[in-house]
Structure 1
Amino acid sequence: MFNFFRTKPKNYTDLSNEDFKTGMTAKDAVIIDVRTAGEFHSGKIKGARNIDLMGPGFMGQIQNLPKDKKYYLYCRSGNRSGQACEIMADMGFESTHNLAGGIMSWPYEVV
């Protein structure tokens, strides 16, 4: 009844810290940090590559990724990575996962 803010269902999955950590260890998993380069260098999840959602090259870099992988995205709070998941899903990526709460809620090691 009051769901008029979201016009379509999410086509990605929000994951808890535990589920994200488990999923990112899969053989075909790709971990993407969508924060700025400065944020990325201040501490990242091990194995993550940086593709800045707000950077001018975001769309070009995403277009070159294979669509048959499982993508695990995060940012500071989970908002930008959710947007990035949505963009990727709209581009035909079938397995995109967002770290709910972002790296701020990540209780595990950052490097």
Structure 2
Amino acid sequence: MKNFLLFVLFVSVQFAYAQIETKSIKEFTGFNKATEVLLDVRTVEEFNEGCIDGALNIDWFSQDFNKQVASIDKNKTIYVYCKIGGRSLKSQARLKELGFLHVINLDGGYDLWSSANK
């Protein structure tokens, strides 16, 4: 029984990671506010220092992250980014767990986007 449970857990984790979609932030040219959301998961301080136009800021470290993202339409495509890519990848996995259907991690984060768009 224990081996079966471990197998089920392994398959579930593999399936979850297979669902992860990543796009280079250098390739990101914008989003359609009617059908998509751009989610910045950096801290408020980082966000206030600069952000991508139209981004919604919900701090990954916030104790009520799950509650805050609950207001986002789960059927919209969510583009998520942070400073360099770590928090956005974690956020992407959490959003998928919460039932968001299409979440894309913008790899490279704000730092790469900012340097590419100067």
* Match in the other structure for 2:117: 108
Q: How far 1:65 sits from its partner (Å)?
A: 1.6
Distance 1:38 1:99, change over 3 A: same
Answering whether residue 46 of structure 2 is matched by residue 39 of structure 1, we say yes
Q: TM-score, normalised by structure 2?
A: 0.78
Spell out the pairing of 1:47-86 with structure 2 (5 A cutoff): 47-86=54-93
Q: What's the Cα RMSD here? A: 1.9
- Distance between the aligned counterparts of 2:45 and 2:99, measured in 1? 29
Number of equivalences: 103
* Match in the other structure for 1:16: 24
Identity of aligned residues (%): 32
For the pair shown, the structure with the greater C-alpha radius of gyration is 2
Query: Unaligned 5+ residue runs, structure 2?
Result: 1-12
Q: Secondary structure at the match of 2:29?
A: helix
Aligned match of 2:98 in 88, 91, 110? Answer: 91
Segments ≥4 residues shifted beyond 4 Å: none
Greater fraction of residues in helix: 2
Q: TM-score, normalised by structure 1?
A: 0.82
Distance 1:26 1:10, change over 3 A: farther
